[in-house]
Amino acid sequence: MKCKVCRGSAVIDIRRHNANFCTDHFLKFCADQTAKTIKQFDMLSEGERALVAVSGGKDSLAIWDILLDLGYEADGLYVGLGIGDYSDTSAEFARAYAESRGVKLIEINLRGEYGFDVPTAAAATRRVPCSACGMSKRHLFDKAALDGGYDAVVTGHNLDDEAAVLYGNVMHWQTDYLGRQRPVLPARNGFPRKVKPLVRLGEREMAAYCVLKGIDYIVEECPMAVGNKHIGYKESLNELELASPGAKRDFYFGFLRNAVDRFATDADAEKATLGTCATCGGPASSDICAFCRLAEKASAIDPVPVAMPRRKKKAKN
Ligand code: Q46
Ligand code: ZN
Ligand code: ZN
């Protein structure tokens, strides 16, 4: 197997590009694909400050690394979700990376600063953990970006993630979500700009990127992801990709080219009606925003151990 660029010995094959790469040219390929995405979707301009949502996993550490190598000013933000050992270990990877590059990592601890954690929030709301977790993370990333004067929140969502979310949104015809499923969401109504520069790169490539760059990351999946539908969607898409390389890319980028605009109105209308949260001053669809309501509810009950995540109920037909 030879590198497509230099004919040296290749370390990875990327079937959807019909290409093999050596280490150096693979790392360059990842940086080039990211730079192309940033430019194509106007994600970041020169001199802008980015806040990277860092989980300690491969994708967020890889995008942080690529942005720094591309010359962007990028700080990290780690949110301690209180998911037992998983959170403790992932925080260590995030800190170790920041230290190795001499860059700033902001840390927010849900239990320490807001009096609850994800397992307890799941019990308090009687919903799957990812629902309270995702909402909390979005709120805290947005708030930290605005408070810190950052120009954009960067997340490490990759092609596999976005194709799986799209698959789920189409399966259930979540038209409001479809209207928002772009790799860049402009700043408005009290929300900062949000960008996903890794949408041209897959999960396998991000793992390879970290290994080849010597970046240590948490390999274990979050223990609360049990029953997460996206895992099933990813598996289905992997089967399709195996039979037809490029299927995920064509599905996702075809959607961006041909369909996302058709759903945009629903999402815009919803955002336009937001007011201000009386507790935190952030955007809210009622007097108090969803995060502050969650914090009030979840901090009022005794902490729930991670060993007993609430399993998802079977979906009703
Ligand atoms: S951390 Fe949180 Fe994820 Fe764990 S509880 Fe779900 S959303 S799976 S990215
Ligand atoms: Zn090469
Ligand atoms: Zn609030």
Name the pLDDT band for 294 (thresholds 50, 70, 90): very high
Is-contact 34 63, C-beta < 8 A?
A: yes
pLDDT digits (tens, 9 = 90+) for 20-39: 999 999 999 999 999 999 99
Ligand 1 atom nearest the C-alpha of 133 is 2
- Asked if 7 contacts 13 with a C-beta cutoff of 8 angstroms, the reply is no
- Is 164 near ligand 1, meaning CB less than 6 Å away? no
The number of CA neighbours under 13 Å toward the Cβ of 285 is 6
DSSP state of 76: E
% pLDDT > 70, the chain: 94
Residue 311's pLDDT is 44
Among all bound ligands, the one having the nearest atom to the CA of 20 is: 2
C-alpha 147/C-alpha 183 separation (Å) is 23
- The residue-averaged pLDDT of 223-244 equals 90
Residues 262-300 as b/e (b if ≥16 CB within 10 A, e otherwise) read ebeeebeeebeebeebeeeebbbeeebbbbbbbbeebbe
Q: Is the CB of 225 under 6 A from ligand 1?
A: yes
Nearest CA to ligand 1 atom 3: 130
Question: Which atom of ligand 1 is least distant from the CA of 129?
Answer: 5
Mutation pick for ligand 1 pocket among 130, 160, 311 (CB with most ligand atoms within 8 Å): 130
- For residues 127 and 311, give the distance between their C-alpha atoms in angstroms, rounded to a whole number: 9
The pLDDT value given to residue 131: 92
Q: Which residue has the higher pLDDT, 309 or 109?
A: 109
CB 151 within 8 A of CB 52: no
- Over 60: is that where the pLDDT of 179 sits? yes
Q: What is the pTM of this model?
A: 0.93
Q: Two tokens at 38?
A: 């940033």
- In angstroms, the CA 174 to CA 95 distance is 37
Is 129 close to ligand 1, i.e. is its CB under 6 Å away? yes
* Spatial separation of the C-alpha atoms in residues 98 and 91, rounded to whole Å: 11
Whether residue 268 has pLDDT greater than 90: no
**Exposure string over 210-232, b if 16+ CB within 10 A, otherwise e:** bebeebebbeeebbbbebbbeee
222: Cβ below 6 Å to ligand 1? yes
pLDDT level of residue 189 (50, 70, 90 thresholds): confident
Decide whether any atom of ligand 1 lies within 6 Å of the 57 Cβ.
no
Which protein residue's CA is at the shortest distance from atom 6 of ligand 1? 130
Rounded Cα distance between 117 and 231, Å, is 23
Q: How far is the CA of 152 from the centre of ligand 1 (A)?
A: 22
User: Phi then psi for 42, rounded to 5 degrees?
Assistant: 55, 50
Residue with the smallest CA separation from ligand 1 atom 1 is 222
Q: Which atom of ligand 1 is closest in space to residue 225's alpha carbon?
A: 8
304, with CB counted inside 10 A (0-12, 13-18, 19+), is: buried
Task: Check pLDDT > 60 for residue 267.
Answer: no
Q: Please give the structure tokens belonging to residue 152.
A: 């954009």
pLDDT band at 228 (very low <50, low <70, confident <90, very high): confident
CB 87 within 8 A of CB 124: no
In sequence order, the 6+-apart residues with CB closer than 8 A to the CB of 2 are 8, 9, 10, 20
Do the Cβ atoms of 268 and 175 come closer than 8 Å?
A: no
Quote the CA–CA distance of 20 and 2 in Å, as a whole number.
6
